[in-house]
């Protein structure tokens, strides 16, 4: 059990590390605003990029930025619109606003924003539907990716709307449902939230009534990440292995330089889960080659995760699973019976009145100072408004 001094030290260290990690840059105006896309209950902004001569029935990639980034900055540094020009797909960039979260983090841990047909998740779903209709895009080739809080929100979208997505990619993100309050979110990020594979399976299955087919998922994680513990990548992989019925499957493993790549294939030989870990890489998006621009938390490690993710999805040249191998819309694979276990109980949601739901220690001396340290660190981490 952690003592108060342990917790205070962790909060203080987190606040000191975060600072202003993603300093916003000035990015070229490649992205256009979508002004009307529905009721927008999450109060997000929608931006998009359509390459010249975009073909009919082109794929759509949804990209979710990290904390203290904006859509244009993440596009500039990640190289997604460069690749869209080369490969012929459209891009959608949901963008957080400071009224929702002052650090511009997507609220992946708040039940009001991370459940189907609610808050930010519903806003993103509305953006996708609007763009598919307006641009004649292929509704069977919609993908989502994101970094950190954006990676966690990408997993929210995959879990809550699995019928919408052919695939996803989670970079330094979190398992769906691992947190529903600020203290839980903090524990989850640090790798302190213990959950069995069965618990993770249950959290994902509770997110929607979907029975399959399921999106293919790529996971990326730096092994020297001190913001989101590497154990979270294993939790995400376990969560998606369960619904793909690959718990007992032995992955194919490739090691190249500092990268370890594990691939789980279904009975047809299709790669449906890929876990990439990069040795000595900290918290950020892996970059390399001719795509993107390195910067804070956009890390030149000689591997372009942008290009590798698009190849895994089958929408860019290179090793990939053919998109045509995905079952047609409306078809369903039979779902396996759930494993025998008790449904895990979830802690109560944080009250709106209490902000993020963090209480001050019930001691008279130093209450204001302690509360200030905790709140400063949580705001820096994007876990408190």
**Residue positions annotated with a catalytic role:** 148
Residue 29's alpha-carbon distances to 49, 71, 72, 173, 183, in angstroms, are 10, 11, 7, 28, 38
Question: Contact at 8 Å (CB) between 368 and 361?
Answer: no
Classify 288 as helix, strand or coil: coil
- Shortest CA distance to 278 belongs to which of 218, 216, 225, 226? 225
> What's the rounded Cα separation, in Å, for the pair 219 and 232?
10
- Cα distance from N-terminal residue to C-terminal residue, the chain: 27
- According to DSSP H, which parts of the chain are helical? 4-18, 71-78, 80-87, 119-135, 149-160, 182-190, 197-205, 231-243, 305-313, 367-380
Q: Is 122 left (phi over 0), alpha (psi -120 to 50) or beta?
A: alpha
């Amino acid at each position: 059990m952690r003592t108060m001094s342990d917790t205070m030290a962790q909060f203080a260290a987190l606040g000191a590390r975060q600072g202003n990690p993603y300093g916003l840059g000035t990015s070229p105006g490649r992205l256009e605003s979508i002004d009307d896309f529905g009721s927008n209950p999450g109060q997000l902004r929608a931006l998009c990029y359509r390459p010249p001569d975009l073909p009919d029935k082109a794929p759509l990639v949804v990209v979710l930025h990290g904390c203290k980034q904006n859509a244009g900055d993440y596009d500039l540094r990640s190289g997604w619109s460069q690749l869209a020009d080369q490969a012929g797909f459209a891009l959608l960039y949901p963008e957080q606003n400071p009224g929702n979260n002052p650090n511009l983090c997507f609220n992946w841990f708040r039940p009001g924003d991370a459940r189907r047909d609610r808050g930010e998740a519903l806003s993103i779903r509305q953006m996708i539907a609007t763009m598919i209709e307006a641009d004649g895009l292929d509704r069977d080739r919609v993908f989502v990716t994101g970094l950190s809080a954006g990676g966690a929100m990408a997993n929210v979208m995959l879990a809550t709307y699995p019928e919408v997505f052919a695939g996803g990619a989670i970079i330094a993100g979190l398992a769906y449902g691992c947190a529903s309050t600020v203290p839980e979110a903090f524990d989850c990020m640090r790798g302190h939230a213990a959950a069995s594979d069965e618990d993770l399976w249950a959290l994902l299955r509770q997110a929607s009534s979907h029975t399959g087919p399921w999106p293919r998922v790529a996971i990326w994680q730096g092994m020297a990440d001190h913001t989101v513990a590497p154990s979270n990548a294993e939790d995400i992989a376990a969560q998606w292995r369960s619904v793909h019925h690959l718990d007992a499957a032995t992955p194919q493993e490739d090691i190249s330089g500092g990268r370890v790549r594990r691939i789980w294939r279904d009975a047809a030989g299709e790669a449906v889960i890929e876990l990439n870990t990069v040795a000595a890489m900290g918290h950020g998006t892996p970059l390399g080659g001719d795509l993107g621009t390195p910067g804070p938390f956009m890390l030149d490690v000689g591997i372009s995760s942008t290009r590798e993710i698009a190849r895994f999805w089958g929408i860019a040249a290179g090793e990939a699973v053919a998109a045509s191998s995905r079952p047609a819309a409306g078809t369903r694979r039979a779902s396996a019976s759930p494993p025998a276990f008790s449904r895990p109980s979830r802690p109560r949601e944080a009250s709106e009145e209490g902000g993020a739901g963090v209480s001050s220690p019930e001691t008279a001396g130093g209450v204001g100072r302690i509360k200030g340290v905790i709140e400063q660190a949580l705001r820096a981490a994007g876990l408190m408004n």
